[in-house]
């Protein structure tokens, strides 16, 4: 019973190496696939460009293409655990800009508490938290960063 309480209160150390791997695969996979479809599916590319126009971004076609390439490349790097902090930082910036320019338009409500709750419900907010955690925690043992950059004694 005490072991169950410790696991519930203090975490499960056996999962410490698996958690960053799962986070990288899920978040990186989401960005990788999103970028892939925006780059290689004309309807998704048009939708991305339209979103940029509606957000008032300068050079919407070029910006949409640049963001799509960044999602594709840095999502792939995140999945592999290669240059994890850089990849997470770039994707964090993309999420922050999307939150401010596009997603915040869906936030409504008179009270501060309701508006804050609405921001917490947005997927960009959750993605940003996971990306910050990956930057702070590192890519984990099952990553190319660990294999390539771990000092050998």
Higher per-residue pLDDT: 58 or 135: 135
CA 26 to chain centre: 9
Task: Give Cα separations from 38 to 20, 49, 60, 115, 152 (angstroms).
Answer: 26, 9, 14, 30, 41
Q: Which two tokens stand for residue 128?
A: 């940003």
Structure confidence at residue 12 as a pLDDT band (50, 70, 90): confident
Q: Which two tokens stand for residue 58?
A: 């300068």
Tell whether the model's pLDDT for residue 18 goes beyond 80. Answer: yes
Given this model, what pLDDT does residue 118 score? Answer: 83
% of the chain residues with pLDDT over 70: 93
Tell whether the model's pLDDT for residue 144 goes beyond 70. Answer: yes
Q: pLDDT tens-digit profile of 20-37?
A: 999 999 999 999 999 999
Given this model, what pLDDT does residue 14 score? Answer: 77
Higher per-residue pLDDT: 91 or 4: 91
Given this model, what pLDDT does residue 68 score? Answer: 98
Average pLDDT value for residue range 68-87: 98
Q: What is the pTM of this model?
A: 0.89
Whole-angstrom Cα distance, residue 23 to residue 78? Answer: 9
């Amino acid at each position: 019973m005490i072991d169950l309480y410790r696991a519930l209160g203090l975490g499960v150390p056996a999962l410490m190496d698996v958690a960053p791997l799962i986070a990288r695969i899920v978040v990186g996979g989401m960005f990788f696939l999103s970028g892939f479809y925006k780059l290689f599916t004309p309807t998704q590319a048009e939708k991305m460009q339209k979103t940029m126009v509606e957000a008032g971004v300068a050079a919407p076609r070029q910006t949409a293409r640049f963001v799509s390439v960044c999602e594709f490349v840095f999502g792939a790097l995140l999945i592999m655990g290669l240059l994890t902090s850089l990849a997470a930082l770039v994707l964090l910036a993309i999420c922050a800009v999307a939150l401010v320019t596009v997603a915040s338009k869906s936030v409504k409500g008179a009270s501060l508490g309701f508006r804050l709750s609405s921001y917490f419900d947005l997927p960009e907010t959750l993605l940003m938290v996971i990306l910050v955690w990956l930057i702070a925690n590192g890519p984990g043992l099952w990553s190319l960063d660990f294999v390539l950059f771990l000092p050998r004694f």
